[in-house]
Each structure stands twice: as C-alpha cells, then as structure tokens.
Amino acid sequence: MELDNEKKDGNFRWTDNDVTVLCEVCINYIHRNGRGQAFRWHEIHEEVQEKSGPKYQFKSVKNKFDSMKADWYLWKFLKNGETGLGWDPTTGRISASDEWWKNKIAAKPDAKKFKNKPLHPTIEDLYFQIFEGKRATEEGVVAPSMDHSSVNVVNVGGDLNEGDGEDDAYYEYTQHSSVL
C-alpha cells in the first residue's frame, strides 16, 4: 500500500500542512528544552508521527528540517540581502528585475524556486521562530513609550544590598502599551 505522500522511489512529498506540523513540533521542543539543546530527532519524529500520521520515516523528518533551514537562510538572503527591492504584498513575491534574479540564481541556483513561489507567510513566521531565536510576544514586552509608573520592582532572590554587587531584581511591567 502506497501512502498519499509517498513517491515510487521511497521519498516523501511534504505538504504545507505537514511542514506546519513539523515546525510546530520543533517550536514546542525548543520551548520545552531550550534553544541551546540539540534536537532529539527520535522524540521529534514520534511527535510528528502522532500529529500527522505514520507518513514519514525517521530520516525523512531530519532531512526535511535540514532543507527547511537551508530554504530559510536562502529566503532571508534574497529578501533582506539588498536595498531597493520591491515587495508585492498580494503575492508575497520579491519584485525585482529579471537581471537581478538571473544574478541571484547564478550565485545560488536554489534561489530559482523562490522566483515565482515565495515562502507562505505562515511558514515564514514558523521558520523565523525556529531558526532566528527569540520571538517577541506580549508577555514581558517593554517599550520606551510605556508609563513607568506601572513598573513594580520584583526581588527574585535575597537582599538587594547583599551579594556580589549584581542586582537580583527585575522590573515587572503591568501594562503592554501606553495610549496617548
């Protein structure tokens, strides 16, 4: 019996939904274990199988992650590598001349895949969360425009006057923005 995503040669086709599942599993893994920890691919493979069904072999999951990482850095290179490029918000494509694309494809042949099919914004956001480190959320966000009267000092350990001279306190903000 051949699975829907299986090709005759044994490789698998990853749908956007399957990529989303893999990304979410990796993001959850990072949240549980920390960014500096190496992935335990057997755990990730099991969780992907649990969420999307037994479609993929262990090696396929790791290979897909590696190709996602390469795609992310290539996409960033294309999108952010130069000033003066245009952006089509309706298609999500980079608006650049044919000569610009020719030069980029000559330098990095894999760039050809992004000329007419950019990263989907949802996938781009997930890749950012996985490969770029921290992501801002409303929790703990501080802005220079915030009303500082809403700041409470919270002591997280010991007397502030004792110890090695470093403050063991942080500022707790009770609001997320200030409306003028």
Of the segments 104-108, 134-138, 155-159, which one has the largest average pLDDT value? 104-108
Instruction: Tally Cβ neighbours within 10 Å of residue 130.
Output: 20
Of the segments 37-41, 67-71, 155-159, 167-171, which one has the largest average pLDDT value? 67-71
For the residues 30-58, what does the mean pLDDT come to?
87
**Does 21 have pLDDT greater than 80?**
yes
Q: What pLDDT, on a 0 to 100 scale, did the predictor assign at position 26?
A: 95
Q: Which of 152, 147, 157, 158 is nearest to 171 (CA)?
A: 152
**Does 34 have pLDDT greater than 90?**
no
**Does 100 have pLDDT greater than 80?**
yes
Structure token digits, residue 148: 């500082």
**Does 168 have pLDDT greater than 50?**
no
SS3 assignment, position 55: coil
pLDDT interval class at 40 (50, 70, 90):
very high
Using an 8 Å Cβ cutoff, are 148 and 156 in contact? Answer: no
